[in-house]
Amino acid sequence: MEAAFELTTSFAMTRQQFGKPLGANQAYRHQIAEMAVALETCRSAAAMVAQEVASGEYNGMDLLRAKLLVGLHGRALCQQAVQLHGGIGVTEEYKVGHCLRRMFVIDQMFGDGEWLRRNSLID
């Protein structure tokens, strides 16, 4: 997620369109801001679980909830990164497409959100 976010913010500042960087477009900046919120949400969830484990107050449900958050927000962030890159985002040579594929694999590991809900592991 971090790599996709960094690639997108860098792309927004360097890619020129109509004589201005893409990042000068307000709609583009709003989408990057939504990506930043998704990234921080996942960081917070991971930090909460890590703190619980370190303090000995580990709750398996919190881990599953964090996994669900990372799966949902991570996929959305990476999909948005590909969209904001335009055609280059789907090429094999550009890294942001690799981030999206990796996020799909991470989401599928140990059950995706649908599987967790279907098996009543997440309420």
Hey, what are 26's tokens?
């307000």
Domain boundaries along the sequence of the chain: 2-118
Angstrom distance (rounded) from CA 83 to CA 74 = 14
**Which residues 6+ apart lie within 8 Å of 104 measured at CB?**
75
CA 16 to chain centroid: 25
Q: Which fold has domain 2-118?
A: Butyryl-CoA Dehydrogenase, subunit A; domain 3 (1.20.140)
Q: Specify the pTM.
A: 0.80
Q: Over its length of 123 residues, how does the chain's per-residue pLDDT go in tens digits?
A: 999 999 999 888 887 777 787 766 778 889 999 999 999 999 999 999 999 989 988 877 888 888 888 888 999 999 999 988 877 666 777 788 888 888 889 888 877 777 777 776 665
